[in-house]
Amino acid sequence: MTKNLAIWVLALSALILSSCDTPTGQGAGWGAATGAIIGAAATGNVRGASIGAAAGAAAGALTGRIVQENQAARYGPPPPGGYPYARWAGRPGFYYSPYTERVYDLRGVQPGGLTRDVDTGRLFRKP
C-alpha cells in the first residue's frame, strides 16, 4: 500500500509541474507524469516510477523545446526583456494592452499566452 501511495504522490507532483509557463516546462511536466505512471504500472515499484518519470521528463522537455522554437519562428524573436504583460481591466478575463490601453477579452487565452495588439501589431502576454 505504501508503494502505491508513493507512486501516486510522484505522479501528482509531476502533474503540478505542468503549470510551467514555457512549452519546454510543460512538456517536461507532462512527460514526467506520464513516465511515472507507465513506469509504476510496468514494474509496480517506486524505482520504476522514478526511472519512468526521468525518461518522460527528458522526452517531454525535448518535445516542448521544439514547440517553443516553432512558436519563435512564427512570431519572430522576442523583444529585449521579453514581451510585456497586459494589465487587468477590472473584469475577469479582460485586460488592457500595454501599448494602447485598448481592452482585450482574453478569457480564451492561457496565462502567459501571446496576443497581438490590433493597433500596433506588437505582441503582449496575458498575466
- Judge if pTM exceeds 0.75: no
Q: Which of 33, 28, 122, 40 is nearest to 84 (CA)?
A: 122
Confidence of residue 80 (pLDDT cuts 50, 70, 90): confident
Provide the pLDDT for residue 110: 86
Query: Could you give the C-alpha distances from 14 to 5, 41, 49, 67, in angstroms and in order?
Result: 14, 16, 11, 20
Query: pLDDT tens for residues 20-78?
Result: 666 667 777 777 888 788 888 888 888 878 888 888 778 777 777 777 677 666 777 77
Contact indicator for 52, 42 with CB cutoff of 8 Å:
yes
Domain ranges across the chain:
2-75, 87-125
Check residue 127 and give its pLDDT.
Answer: 92
pLDDT (tens digit per residue) in 108-118: 988 888 899 99
Rounded CA Rg of the chain: 19
